[in-house]
Amino acid sequence: MTKDNKYISELIYQLADDNFIHSYRGSEWLGLAPHIEEDVAFSSINQDTMGHASMYFELLETLGEGSVDELSHNRKPKDFRNAIILEEANGSGTYLDQPEYDWAFTVIRHLFFGVLKEIRLESLNQSSYEPLIHTSRKIQTEQYYHLMHWKTWFTQLMLSTQEARDKMEQAISRVWRDFGGVISLGKYGKEISDLKLIASEDELRSEWLRRIHQIFDQVGFSIEGNPGMEQGNGRNGEHTEDLTSALNILSEVYHSDIDAVTW
């Protein structure tokens, strides 16, 4: 593997794993979303998002990183490059047993991620690695509707009752403390942006802040400073127990019966 390929793979792992775990956390809401139309919409969004992860895993497969199935089901948690905030559980309990999931947290996490994803895709459109240009264009056609969806939830809840506003503001503070991990390009960030695979971390951050503040302005909310990375940097393999338990559930069938995968 050439040195350039190493950095190309590094970036694509980050893109793949972010979408993969984010889609999984979203899918745990199936049957639990606030109302039936949201169940339909959110499932569709999660299905698209898993499709995006799959597109990135396919790029990694062509780079010789292993098959899509191995990449998604057979890596150790420490090999995952997703940001920590995206792996965090939706709340206490599990989807099978007393799920006390937090909708405000989900809306904020999806909105923040959606805005960054849009910026990343715009940047990937200019990538020096051509396959990323094709995948980003395809993903943009779908992402457009996702972001619209989360903006709608955000605005409505922020302008709803005091209780809703309080929950939303708490969720903003919580996600803000760790969202820096999503913006991060990890320890090879400089090499990745020097190769013009994607814009630099600083550029991504300032554009994200600009767009988020614009959205905040519309509902009379403001926040100071940059988003943090309190729990560590997932890009460098730092993760929480939440990732381990999520991967165990995700890969249960794969590990219990390898033949089932080729069914």
Partner 1 sequence: MNNISDLELEIFRTLENVTDPEMPYINVVELGMVEEVEIDDNQVFIKLLPTFSGCPALDMIKGDVLRKIKEEIKRWNASLDIEVKFSFNPPWTTKRISEEGRRKLKMNGIASPDSEHKHGHSWEIDCPYCDSTHVTMENIFGPTACRSILYCNECKNPFEAMKPVANLYEKVDL
Residues that bind partner 1 (CB under 8 A): 37, 40-45, 47-52, 54-55, 125, 134-135, 137-142, 144-145, 148-149
Q: Which residues contact 15 (CB under 8 A, 6 or more apart)?
A: 56, 120
Please, which residue, 43 or 240, has the CB nearer to partner 1?
Answer: 43
Nearest alpha-carbon partner for 132 in 205, 207, 198: 198
Please, which residue, 75 or 138, has the CB nearer to partner 1?
Answer: 138
Contact 205, 226 (CB under 8 A): yes
CA angle 55, 32, 169 (to 5 degrees): 85
- CA–CA distance, 235 with 224 (Å, rounded to integer): 25
Please, which residue, 47 or 128, has the CB nearer to partner 1?
Answer: 47
What's the min distance (Å) between Cβ of 49 and partner 1? 7
What's the min distance (Å) between Cβ of 40 and partner 1? 6
Please, which residue, 150 or 179, has the CB nearer to partner 1?
Answer: 150
Contact 64, 1 (CB under 8 A): yes
Please, which residue, 11 or 185, has the CB nearer to partner 1?
Answer: 11
Q: Which residues contact 196 (CB under 8 A, 6 or more apart)?
A: 126, 127, 128
What's the min distance (Å) between Cβ of 141 and partner 1? 5
Contact 153, 86 (CB under 8 A): no
- CA–CA distance, 74 with 80 (Å, rounded to integer): 11
Please, which residue, 92 or 152, has the CB nearer to partner 1?
Answer: 152
What's the min distance (Å) between Cβ of 149 and partner 1? 7
Structure tokens of 29? Answer: 């809401």
